[in-house]
């Protein structure tokens, strides 16, 4: 069974630039999560989708972050404009409804 796919694996951008991350969840998984993991901290939930609807985006900095999940499958997370403090690993995870989540390898973002 294929796992959660994320791209790119690494990205370096200058502050104030924009960046987008892509996630392809495990086939059939209705729930999709984006987490942000800053170095030395645990992952923090940014947004949770159920199919193509947002369940929870209370921790998403909406002035600069946006996410969408078109057709209830793939998802993109965008940051515009990026700040230095956005440097982190962005993890995508997916699950069947009501079950534990499987994580992708993450995208490591460095903002310089």
Partner 1 sequence: DQQVKQNSPSLSVQEGRISILNCDYTNSMFDYFLWYKKYPAEGPTFLISISSIKDKNEDGRFTVFLNKSAKHLSLHIVPSQPGDSAVYFCAARFSNDYKLSFGAGTTVTVRA
Residues of this chain that interact with partner 1 (CB under 8 A) are 4, 31, 33, 40-45, 48, 56, 91, 93, 95, 98-106
H/E element holding 47?
Answer: strand 44-50
> Please, what is the minimum distance in Å from the beta carbon of residue 81 to partner 1?
27
DSSP state of 26: P
CB of 14 to partner 1, least distance (A): 24
The residue (of 57 and 74) whose beta carbon lies closer to partner 1 is: 57
Smallest gap from Cβ 33 to partner 1, in A, equals 7
């Amino acid at each position: 069974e294929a796992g959660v796919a994320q791209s790119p694996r690494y990205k370096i951008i200058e502050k104030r630039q924009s960046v987008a991350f892509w996630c392809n969840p495990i086939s059939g998984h209705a729930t999709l999560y984006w987490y942000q993991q800053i170095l030395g901290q645990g992952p923090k939930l940014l947004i949770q989708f159920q199919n193509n609807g947002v369940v929870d985006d209370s921790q998403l900095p909406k002035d600069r972050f946006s996410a969408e999940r078109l057709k209830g499958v793939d998802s993109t997370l965008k940051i515009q404009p990026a700040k230095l403090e956005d440097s982190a690993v962005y993890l995508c995870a997916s699950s069947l409804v009501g079950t534990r989540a499987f994580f992708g390898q993450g995208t490591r973002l460095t903002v310089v």
